[in-house]
Amino acid sequence: MHPVLKWLSVVTPIVSIFLGGYYWRSVSISATLKPDLTTDYSKGEEVIMADAKSIYDIKYVDIDGNEQSMEQYRGHVLIVVNVASKCGFTCVNYKELTELYDKYSENEGLRILAFPCNQFGSQEPLGETEIKEFVKEYDVRYNLASKSNVNGDNTHALWTLLKDRQRGILGTTLVKWNFTKFLVDKKGNVLKRYAPNTNPKAMEKDIIEAFKS
């Protein structure tokens, strides 16, 4: 047999097995997370605003409608997360985020900024006033932004930056579901992206390391 043909006979089955495995893992993940099929993401990846060189250049509107600057988080380890009130991940994430905040906010300066988002299965149907009432159930005292988009043409500038600095599988920037979390260090470096099914307490080791920087 020609050497090239012999090589192909060995490599082709291996590649097929790998791609087949990846395909079925992708199908499994998609079925579990039930991605939003009503949102059009066909126009491509978002582009970071030219003047947003760091997260501290960006502003957002809080849950009460007041403009806030990300500058307030300089010098703090920060978790940024997209939240929803009707998601299967809601209870554990709100509960554990509160636990982390209570444990580390006063002595270590941990900050959390949550963005309510209705892009995934329409699982945040509440208005801002209703959201404020809802989160009292979880004793939320960390900061909440107003409802925002994390994918698509109207993506909030902060999320555009976060997604670009820490990309997902195969380099994609898209947020896959509610409760995708980003960890930012005291200097504004985006350290890590966490999947929706990664509970906040699983981030604790990374958070402690970030305090040391």
Q: How far apart are CA 117 and CA 145, in angstroms?
A: 10
Q: Is 87 a catalytic residue?
A: yes
131 and 63 in contact (C-beta within 8 Å)? yes
- The percent helix, strand, coil of the chain (3-state, each to 5) is 45, 15, 40
Instruction: Give me the sign of the Cα torsion angle 164, 37, 195, 79.
Output: positive
32 φ/ψ angles, rounded to the nearest 5 degrees? -70, -45
Indicate the burial class of 83 (C-beta count within 10 angstroms; 0-12, 13-18, 19 or more): buried
Cβ neighbours of 104 (radius 10 Å): 18
Q: Which of 63, 87, 117, 158 is catalytic?
A: 87
Q: Which residues contact 146 (CB under 8 A, 6 or more apart)?
A: 60, 61, 62, 63, 65, 116, 128
- Active-site positions read 87
